[in-house]
Amino acid sequence: MNRQSYLVSRRHLLRGIGTVAIGLPLLEIMSPAVATAAVKAKADAKVKRLCVLYKGCGVFPHAWDIAGGTETDFELSSLLQPLSGVKDELLVLRNLDHLFGKNNGGHLVAPSLSMTGALPDKRKKSYSSFDQIVADEVGKQTPVKSLQLTADSLWKQHPWINYLSHDAEGNPIPPDRDPGLVFDRLFRGMNNSSYRRQTKSVLDTVKESSGDIRLKASRSDLAVLDQYFQSIRDVEKQLQSFKDVSSPAREKKLAALDDFSIDADLSGRIKAMLDLIALSFWTDTTRVATMMMANTNSRCTYGFLGLNEELHYMSHYVRNRGILPGFNKVNQWHTAQFGYLLEKLKSFREGEGSVLDNSIVMYMSGIKHGDYHTLTDVPVVLAGKGGGAISPGRHVRYPTPTPFPNLLLTLVNLMGVERRALGDSTGTVDGISQPAGYPMAIKDDGSWRVSSDDGTEFLAKGLLLVSDDINDTNAYYLQLSDKSKLEIRISFGVVHRLVFDAKVGRVVAIKGKWGMRDGRKVIASLEYQTP
């Protein structure tokens, strides 16, 4: 038999009854010649994907920011700790600003700024978002141009906070909220509700055609197919579980609330959508996806985390510091979902690497300080290698404030779309594809130590940090040159008088007295601290 008869197209679909058709991941038997399978797989694997995960309401800056270290040798902050398993895949960026030169007020416009790089024009019309600039080019080569997803409620009072993506005319692209419908769109086709009720699994409908593929497949291909089919079944199980918690009565009540509350299980919704993004990238069904996990006015609650307060309420922690642990907990959970997607993409093999190796995944919040709505130094992390376009495993802090639109322009170009400007960009940014080489703002000169101590009073100098425990927001630490830390527990009044929070992440000299807490020695009072 001619070996060419064993080959299948990269665009091969497994077809079943009616409109059911699902794509396949990259296989060796999709090569033009069996003998050159590895070469062709390597070439095909350079196809790049772009994903944006957005969460509104900002963060607690001291729990987000990485303090100390170098570009390549650093410790993840408490809010980034869920990413420890994929640290080498991360590029943490600092000192990128929206609305260059302005400080705050971007609560409602943050999503648009984060994607278009500019405020709407005088007609209140947005510009094209950077993901759609990319999708307009790379989307020509995939069945689905791009995915737009949201897990949050849709606000009718402020509709612009619901959208991340805007088309070439600046019109917002409505996101999908139902992972079941997205599954249909990707793997079953739309208008297939009757057949959906008749079958338990989309895989059952393509059993015959998948059997044909298995007869041709190599041993390596069989392993890929088994992983792929299991991933689809996992999503189907998740969607079924998601459906089971809904009811017609509940849906009717939700509709009466003017679409104000999120329906069904939030954690299940987000997980299912992340799985669908990963599958759509792996099968080359689409190469561009955006997902809003929480908007900037989010009324979502996180009962599965033991919290009853709405996210937006918790973000205003300055007025009630007692809710800060809950706010940190939600933000850490969102970071964990980002990590889940990265692990998923990393597990899908493609060519000589993984789907993550050929992806650029951006995780961000459009504002920094949750309560003050600051537009400076916005939280943003890139992940993946982008087919060799990204050099991860680094923490880059730009030495001077840099326009965030410059990053968007850079990413567009790295995705293979030539563009000279985007929004309010002033150019591109360096330090993305190769090491930046910037000196870190904080450098240990060996002088961080206790200079005097009589057992009661002391003088010390070191790097001021907050607790790594997101639930312990009253603890501060002074890190010394020998990497030991002095615990500081002082009253909120003293924290306020000394403007202690503003000095976190800086080197300070402090004078104070020791005390005991739960059998350990801590700094219990301070007389002064200087930067």
pLDDT at residue 318, as a whole number:
81
Task: Give yes or no: residues 280 and 168 share one domain.
Answer: yes
What is the pairing mode between strands 288-294 and 520-530? unpaired
DSSP H helix total and E strand total for the chain: 14, 17
Question: Where a domain ends, among 363, 386, 414?
Answer: 414
Residue 498: inside a domain: yes
Helix segments in 245-381, DSSP class H = 248-256, 266-282, 311-315, 324-347
Helix segments in 307-360, DSSP class H = 311-315, 324-347
Task: Give yes or no: residues 523 and 454 share one domain.
Answer: yes
Contact (Cβ atoms closer than 8 angstroms) between residue 15 and residue 187: no
Instruction: Read off φ and ψ for residue 354, nearest 5 degrees.
Output: -130, 170
Token couple for 460: 């010390």
Task: Give yes or no: residues 399 and 279 share one domain.
Answer: yes
pLDDT at residue 17, as a whole number:
44
Residue 231: inside a domain: no
Task: Give yes or no: residues 174 and 83 share one domain.
Answer: yes
Q: Is the dihedral of CA 252, 255, 257, 262 positive or negative?
A: positive
Q: Tell me the chain's radius of gyration from C-alpha atoms.
A: 25
Count of domains for the chain = 2
Q: Which helix (H) or strand (E) holds 407?
A: helix 404-414
- Cβ-based neighbour number of residue 87 at 10 Å: 16
Helix/strand/coil (H, E, C) string of 179-194? HHHHHHHHHHCCCCHH
- Greatest CA span in the chain, whole angstroms? 89
What is the pairing mode between strands 147-150 and 21-22? unpaired
Task: Give yes or no: residues 177 and 297 share one domain.
Answer: yes
Question: Which of these, 390, 454, 426, 514, lies nearest to 90 by C-alpha position?
Answer: 390
CA 28, CA 10: separation in Å to the nearest integer? Answer: 10
Task: Give yes or no: residues 371 and 516 share one domain.
Answer: no
Under the phi-then-psi rule, with left for phi > 0, alpha for psi from -120 to 50, and beta for the rest, what region is 519?
Answer: left
Task: Give yes or no: residues 147 and 67 share one domain.
Answer: yes
Render each residue's pLDDT in the chain as its tens digit; 531 residues. Answer: 344 444 555 444 445 444 455 566 666 666 543 334 444 444 544 789 999 999 999 999 989 999 888 899 999 999 999 999 999 999 999 999 987 655 555 677 889 899 999 887 766 677 899 999 999 999 988 888 999 999 887 776 666 788 899 999 888 888 988 887 887 777 665 334 444 454 456 666 666 566 667 767 777 777 777 777 777 777 776 666 555 445 455 445 445 434 434 445 788 889 989 999 998 898 888 999 999 999 888 888 999 999 999 999 999 988 788 899 999 999 999 999 999 999 999 998 888 899 999 999 999 999 998 888 888 899 999 999 999 999 999 999 999 999 999 999 999 999 999 999 999 999 999 999 999 998 776 788 899 999 999 999 999 999 999 888 888 888 899 999 999 999 999 887 787 788 777 788 889 999 999 999 989 999 999 887 776
Task: Give yes or no: residues 175 and 56 share one domain.
Answer: yes
User: What CATH number corresponds to the domain at position 486?
Assistant: 2.40.50.140
CA 165, CA 290: separation in Å to the nearest integer? Answer: 7
3-state helix, strand, coil in the chain (%, to 5): 40, 20, 40
**Polymer length of the chain:** 531
**Beta strand segments in 106-163, E:** 147-150
Task: Give yes or no: residues 306 and 454 share one domain.
Answer: no
User: What CATH number corresponds to the domain at position 285?
Assistant: 3.40.720.10
pLDDT at residue 196, as a whole number:
45
Residue 192: inside a domain: no
- The HSE-up count of residue 98 (CA atoms within 13 Å, CB side) is 28
Instruction: Read off φ and ψ for residue 44, nearest 5 degrees.
Output: -65, -30
Residue 526: inside a domain: yes
Question: Which of these, 61, 62, 154, lies nearest to 111 by C-alpha position?
Answer: 154
Helix/strand/coil (H, E, C) string of 445-479? CCCCCEEEECCCEEEEEEEEEECCCCCCCCCEEEE
Contact (Cβ atoms closer than 8 angstroms) between residue 288 and residue 131: yes
Task: Give yes or no: residues 495 and 378 share one domain.
Answer: no
Place of tokens 């790097």: 463
- The HSE-up count of residue 284 (CA atoms within 13 Å, CB side) is 20
Residue 381, helix vs strand vs coil: strand
Under the phi-then-psi rule, with left for phi > 0, alpha for psi from -120 to 50, and beta for the rest, what region is 423?
Answer: left
Residue 12: inside a domain: no
Task: Give yes or no: residues 408 and 456 share one domain.
Answer: no
Domain that holds residue 492: 450-530
Residue 160, helix vs strand vs coil: helix
Task: Give yes or no: residues 393 and 459 share one domain.
Answer: no
- Cβ-based neighbour number of residue 152 at 10 Å: 26
Vertex 265 angle, CA 260 and 268, to 5°: 130
Residue 471: inside a domain: yes
pLDDT at residue 24, as a whole number:
65
Vertex 393 angle, CA 388 and 396, to 5°: 100
Token couple for 286: 């689409």
pLDDT at residue 258, as a whole number:
41
Residue 174: inside a domain: yes
CA 208, CA 225: separation in Å to the nearest integer? Answer: 14
pTM for the predicted model, two decimal places? 0.79
Instruction: State how far Cα 142 lies from the chain centre.
Output: 23
pLDDT at residue 467, as a whole number:
85
